[in-house]
Amino acid sequence: MDDYEPWHVFVSTKLQKEPELRIIGKVFEGLDAVQQAQQLRPDLILLDIGLPRVNGIEAARRIREVSPKSKLLFVSEDRSPNVVQEALSNGAGGYVLKSDAESELLPAVKTVLEGKRFISAMRAGHFLVTTTVSATQTMLCWMMITVISGMR
């Protein structure tokens, strides 16, 4: 989770432009993300790597256990190939660099909700991407989203 308020406003504004998406919650640390995922069972969860208390990778592992149908999309500035691979290996359907979010956030959300993989263009050349994992529901690790219609 990122605690930078303009970033949260940007993401919320971007997502709210899509009538099929509804933000159903926001949390600011990994442990809260796990608890809210279990309670709300969102379609999609947006996570950052550097979350307080429990980092995004560990939160993803725990979310897989408590809300296995929720899809995960990481939005982070961490460019390490090892971190990206670890995120994908722990159930993430996609990874978007924050620097690419203006153009890639909504396509990534739609792609992951369709059960396909999405990796930021800046990272894509560094990974062999396998076909996707299936899942359903939406939550952002600082915001939770539910799909209302059309995108699934």
- Enter the pTM of the model: 0.81
Half-sphere exposure of 107 (CA within 13 A, CB side): 11
Q: Which residues contact 39 (CB under 8 A, 6 or more apart)?
A: none
Q: Which residues contact 127 (CB under 8 A, 6 or more apart)?
A: 81, 84, 85, 88, 119
How far apart, in whole angstroms, are the C-alpha atoms of residue 56 and residue 47?
6
> What are the residue ranges spanned by the domains of the chain?
5-147
Return the CATH class of domain 5-147: alpha beta
pLDDT at 143: 47
Tens of pLDDT along the chain (152 residues) come to: 445 678 888 888 898 888 888 888 888 889 999 999 999 999 999 999 988 889 999 999 999 999 999 999 999 999 888 999 999 999 999 999 999 999 999 999 999 999 999 998 865 444 433 333 333 333 343 444 554 434 44
The torsion angles phi and psi of 60, rounded to 5 degrees, stand at -60, -45
Q: If we measure between CA atoms, which residue out of 12, 7, 10 comes closest to residue 24?
A: 12
Provide the residue type at 78 as one letter. Answer: D
**Start-to-end C-alpha separation, the chain:** 25
